[in-house]
Amino acid sequence: MLEGIFESSTSVSLFGLFVALLVFFHFFISIFSSQERREPPGPRPLPLFGNLFQLNLKRLSQNLYDLSKTYGPVFQVSFGPKKVVVLAGHKIVKQALVNQAEQFASREITKAFYYINKEHGIILANGDSWKEMKHFARTTLKDFGMGRKTSEEIIIEESVNLIKEFEQFQGEAFDNSVALTYATSNVISALMFGKRFEYTDPFIKQMVERNQETIHLMGSASVQIYNFIPWLGPFLKNWTNLMKNMEDTKADIRKIIAELKKTLDPEMCRCFIDAFLIRKHNLEDSEVKDSHYRDENLLYSVINLFIAGTDTTATTLKWSLLYMAKFPHFQDRVQEELSRVVGSRQVRIEDRKNLPYTDAVIHESQRFANIVPMSLPHTTSKDVTLQGYFIRKGTAIFPLLTSVLYDESEWESPHNFNPSHFLDEEGKFIRRDAFMPFSAGRRACLGESLARMELFLFFASLLQHFCFTLPPGVSEDELDLKPVVGLTLAPKPQKLCAVGQL
């Protein structure tokens, strides 16, 4: 009996020792794992609220840029209970978006993004549907001449209309932002809908005004708060206004799609919508199952491309003309080069290689304006290690494009408007690796080639015909270059004079 008790005690002791070893081993592994999988640094979060009280949601991009100087190029902040990893500086943004593109290519679908887009379309979608819609959009827009001769003619035609619009003011001060937005909207309208609109057309006026408000609301503090406290939605005026804008936009685009359906001819493809409808019809005839060519993807793809194709290019042009009025000596050099190389004839895209200073000024306007300072948020598609920090699958990623375009290790004078950033010692145009206004990697702007062509042709044509000056009595120091913060950074509405060139 004693032997049994002894054996039993020994068994218990051995079992206890085994458990203790397991606990010790697990503890050791946990410590080792935490050292190996160290998370990015960042400000200490509060329970439930995270770092909300330490963040300026009205100027979040600048706030995060400032934090990067304390915590380094890879750090994390908490929006309520949600952790977000911020990437700052050219080196680390390129490493993530380009060198580790597969791991960082997914789009973070915030609460606001989901209710705006329902994960359809191109910009705010993921997975096979996103890949297919992106491929279709790229090939279709190329077929319609995006970035090629066909789109060049569309832009030139629109620049003629824009110049006529400016001429009506006969050198008097006016707000050029509306006409610039109509012009860029008409370029994407020609590709999407197969037609342009007169600047007095109620449709284009409503769409442009509504889209500009939508862009502003999406970057507002209250909509960002909605993303992590969604039950507040009905009490947030900006959120309810945003939802109304999106419903109105969807209704307008549905009308256009319905009109094009009525006159659809499979033998004569007129625009992006026609191409989508023809593809959808062909797939239905072939009885292909689980096709991504559904009405929802068409609707949201058109909305995505229309808004993105209008806003960013128009906003960049607004900034570029303000810079010309603010820094007239740069404007003088652009006009001297245009006069010497092009003369009075219509500027063409092939002239760009012979207009290095004009090209440099356009690129510097894009860099300095920094209109998409945070890009759109990404998310990791798998566990990943970046600069020694472990980032879990599904973590939201904020690539700070402002930290790339203003990277002090990449630009000689990042906080000054300096076209020499894009010129070598002989005055020839040079490309810069840290020039990322269109983002980079698999989520880079789909319409980059079109936007680059628009910026060059519109800007050069306008500078051929007009000298942009401040209104009488307004000095260059009084010109306000502080942006209106939204999803993009737009200039405040300000008047300029467009004085005709002799």
Q: Of residues 132 and 485, which shows the higher confidence score?
A: 132
Residue range 20-56, pLDDT digits in tens: 444 344 334 434 444 457 999 999 999 988 998 999 9
CA distances from 470 to 68, 334, 336, 362 (A): 37, 18, 20, 20
Question: Position 262: which residue type?
Answer: K
Residue 464, pLDDT above cutoff 50: yes
What local confidence, expressed as pLDDT, does residue 227 receive? 86
- Count other C-beta atoms under 10 Å from residue 74's C-beta: 24
196 pLDDT tier (thresholds 50, 70, 90): very high
Q: Of residues 146 and 119, which shows the higher confidence score?
A: 119
Phi and psi angles of residue 403, each rounded to the nearest 5 degrees, phi first: -75, -20
Query: CB-side exposure of 298: number of CA atoms within 13 Å?
Result: 25
- What are the residues facing 76 on neighbouring strands? 85
CA distance 169 to 429: 35
Region 478-498: mean pLDDT is 91
Question: Position 349: which residue type?
Answer: I
Helix axes 295-326 and 356-369, enclosed angle (nearest 10): 110
Asked if residue 112 lies in contact with residue 218, where contact means CB atoms within 8 angstroms, the answer is yes
Residue range 306-319, pLDDT digits in tens: 999 899 999 999 99
CATH of domain 39-118+372-405: 3.30.43.20
**Tokens (6 digits) for 80:** 């309520």
Element (H, E) at 8: helix 2-36
CA distance 458 to 382: 42
What local confidence, expressed as pLDDT, does residue 5 receive? 40
Element (H, E) at 332: helix 328-341
Asked if residue 443 lies in contact with residue 140, where contact means CB atoms within 8 angstroms, the answer is no
**Can you give the pTM of this predicted structure?**
0.90
User: Percent of the chain, pLDDT > 90?
Assistant: 75
**Percent of residues in the chain assigned helix, strand, coil, to nearest 5:** 60, 10, 30
Residue range 416-457, pLDDT digits in tens: 999 999 999 999 999 999 999 999 999 999 889 999 999 999
Asked if residue 204 lies in contact with residue 190, where contact means CB atoms within 8 angstroms, the answer is no
Phi and psi angles of residue 10, each rounded to the nearest 5 degrees, phi first: -65, -40
Instruction: Give residue limits of the domains in the chain.
Output: 39-118+372-405
**Contacts (Cβ under 8 Å, ≥6 apart) of 367:** 405, 411, 421, 435, 437
